[in-house]
Amino acid sequence: MKKILVVDFGSQYTQLIARRLRELSVYSEVCPWDEIPVLDNVEGFILSGGPESSNIEGNPTIDSLIFDSNKPILGICYGMQVLAHQEAGQIINEGKKEFGYAKINIKADTVLFKNMSDSSDVWMSHGDKVESLPDGYAITATSDNSPIAAYENTSKKYFGLQFHPEVTHTENGTAIIKNFLDICGIEQNWSSDDILQQIDAVVATEVKDEEVLLALSGGVDSTVLAAVLHRTLGNRLTCVMVDHGLLRKDEAHNVVTGLKEKIGLSVNLVNAQDIFLSKLEGVTDPEQKRKIIGNTFIEVFESESKKLNDIKWLAQGTIYPDVIESAGNSKTKAKVIKSHHNVGGLPERMQLKLLEPFRMLFKDEVRKIGKAIGLPNEIVERHPFPGPGLGIRIIGEVNKDRLDKLREADHIFLSELKKQNLYYSASQAYAFYLPVKSVGVVGDNRIYADVIGLRSVNTTDFMTAKATALPHEFVEHVSTRIVNEIDGISRVVYDITSKPPATIEWE
Ligand code: XMP
């Protein structure tokens, strides 16, 4: 299969490049900059951004195999700088960083910007910039802060972009990548059926006739994975769901009965609420809470699996944002944002082999696979729910009283969204608990009680997100219900912050 090789220099956005290529029906593989594979069938290279500076000794570099292949290269951000640097250009750091939107002015007659208007809004995120170009290179776009915002060497077919065409904020980003694919001369014929076939092939050759255990959370990723594996493994797949007491209202029951009814899948449900709650007592730090929840999950899951014989594999519905935000790919140097609890720990401890077929996919791609194998909308389109559950939606200490109030508030919010047909137009909505006392008046009495926050975001890849513009009357109605129906809540607030700079979850 002809492919584009995406060379990873540690950018938060590397998989977005691969994702854009998949959207353009082109097969691609991502590899770390220092582990370039045999270059069979590679028709072009995209060099990712990264947190390093090409002026620092020992910086990540472009492997000579890539230059020797004589194929087109597109360098993005750090990739652009290191390409210019290795070709004898000059990179500088003036101590000024450029984050967010910038306007670029495009020079006429450039192949990479074919059929585009003279100026475009693009997304920048860099400190270094290219100061002077090597021989044979020409500037193709400029911005106020980056006189060399893009360059090309048409005879070698080398291109550089200071901005990120892979993020949705860049106007014409996909068109630029498409133009690069035309330059590479690669056909656009790769589809999501191919992804499913590839997963089935990996499962068949790796797992063979061995038994697989799956940690089911009831979320989209692990549920779609369970259904995908159930097709080919049948009863060699055992699904275990741990109820850590941090689930939403009626969640465990709904997941177990729903899967049985919809796809005939049996789930072993383990009630471990008391263990989790006692371990979380008095803990307020978010990362510590995540670690406790993650470790306790491992202990409970391990003791449960000891009751099963012959298990050799652990399947997890880890998707790419989990990997990158935990910097779980140790080969690259992407910075840790949060330690997502479903990445790592469990397989080593239990000495199981790890099966993570969705590791390089985004949520909407997992959803497409779910639909392709016939899962109903209420499973495939449900909002994601984090592994540590309500534990990271209660700011500060987690206890039964707060959990009960939060579960009720969250239920009111989500059921109203569904009733008003707003649920599926949001990507993720939830209530969170703020242990901040505020004064209220109920009847003739003063109350001094905690706050419930509502968050709803729209996003395609969960890497960037915007708050949903919910109708004012709707939010007001939900707020009235929460304050009236839940004792000990004096106030409701709505979070309108985007990601970045905020994250989707509060902790
Ligand atoms: P953030 O808060 O990082 O969330 O913007 C991005 C997406 O990831 C989910 N999330 C998690 N999922 N384990 C998970 O399985 C975790 O520890 C975790 N933390 C955040 C979050 O709900 C959102 O969909």
CA of 340 to the centre of ligand 1 (A): 7
Of 99 and 156, the one with more pLDDT = 156
pLDDT band at 347 (very low <50, low <70, confident <90, very high): low
- Give tens-digit pLDDT for 354-370: 899 998 788 888 998 99
- Give tens-digit pLDDT for 372-385: 898 988 889 999 89
The residue whose CA has the least distance to atom 8 of ligand 1 is 386
- List, chain by chain if needed, residues with CB within 6 Å of any ligand 1 atom: 290, 321-322, 325, 338, 340-342, 384, 386-388, 428, 462, 499, 503-505
- Give tens-digit pLDDT for 402-428: 999 999 999 999 999 999 999 999 999
CA of 106 to the centre of ligand 1 (A): 38
Q: 3-state DSSP call for residue 367?
A: helix
Question: Catalytic residues, which ones?
Answer: 77, 164, 166
Element (H, E) at 445: strand 445-458
The residue whose CA has the least distance to atom 22 of ligand 1 is 386
CA of 219 to the centre of ligand 1 (A): 11
* Cβ pair 12, 328 in contact under 8 A: no
Q: Which of 287, 505, 506 to mutate to test the pocket of ligand 1 (most atoms within 8 A of CB)?
A: 505
Q: In the prediction, which pLDDT does 324 show?
A: 62
- Give tens-digit pLDDT for 183-221: 999 999 888 788 899 899 999 999 999 999 999 988 899
Indicate the range of 5-19, 199-213, 333-347 predicted with least confidence: 333-347
* Percent of the chain scoring above 70 in pLDDT: 95
Q: Is the Cα dihedral 398, 403, 409, 410 positive or negative?
A: positive
Q: In the prediction, which pLDDT does 506 show?
A: 97
Q: Which of 316, 340, 342, 358 to mutate to test the pocket of ligand 1 (most atoms within 8 A of CB)?
A: 340
As a whole number, the mean pLDDT across the chain is: 91
The residue whose CA has the least distance to atom 9 of ligand 1 is 386
Q: 3-state DSSP call for residue 470?
A: coil
The residue whose CA has the least distance to atom 11 of ligand 1 is 386
pLDDT surpasses 50 at 328 = no
Give mean pLDDT, residues 244-248.
97
Q: In the prediction, which pLDDT does 338 show?
A: 54
CA of 323 to the centre of ligand 1 (A): 11
CA of 430 to the centre of ligand 1 (A): 12
Cβ burial, residue 231 (10 Å; 0-12/13-18/19+): middle
The residue whose CA has the least distance to atom 21 of ligand 1 is 386
Q: In the prediction, which pLDDT does 262 show?
A: 86
Give mean pLDDT, residues 155-160.
98
CA of 185 to the centre of ligand 1 (A): 38
Q: In the prediction, which pLDDT does 125 show?
A: 85
Query: The whole model's pTM is what?
Result: 0.73
Total residues belonging to the chain: 507
Backbone φ, ψ for residue 286 (5° rounding): -60, -45
Give mean pLDDT, residues 99-121.
90
Q: Which one, of 441, 229, 411, 217, lies nearest residue 318 by Cα?
A: 217
Give mean pLDDT, residues 12-26.
91
| Neighbour-count burial for 405-419, b at 16+ CB within 10 Å, e otherwise | bbbbbbbbbbebbee
Q: Is the Cα dihedral 282, 285, 288, 293 positive or negative?
A: positive
pLDDT surpasses 60 at 335 = no
Q: In the prediction, which pLDDT does 97 show?
A: 78
pLDDT band at 1 (very low <50, low <70, confident <90, very high): confident
* Cβ pair 149, 163 in contact under 8 A: yes
Q: In the prediction, which pLDDT does 342 show?
A: 54
* Cβ pair 396, 450 in contact under 8 A: no
DSSP at 9: S
Q: Is the Cα dihedral 59, 63, 66, 68 positive or negative?
A: positive
Q: Which of 221, 296, 338, 356 to mutate to test the pocket of ligand 1 (most atoms within 8 A of CB)?
A: 338
Atom number of ligand 1 nearest to Cα 388: 17
Q: Which one, of 292, 464, 437, lies nearest residue 362 by Cα?
A: 464
- Give tens-digit pLDDT for 446-477: 999 999 999 999 998 788 899 999 999 999 99
CA distance 222 to 218: 7
Of 329 and 277, the one with more pLDDT = 277
Give the Å distances, CA to CA, from 435 to 394, 395, 409.
Answer: 8, 7, 14
The residue whose CA has the least distance to atom 16 of ligand 1 is 340
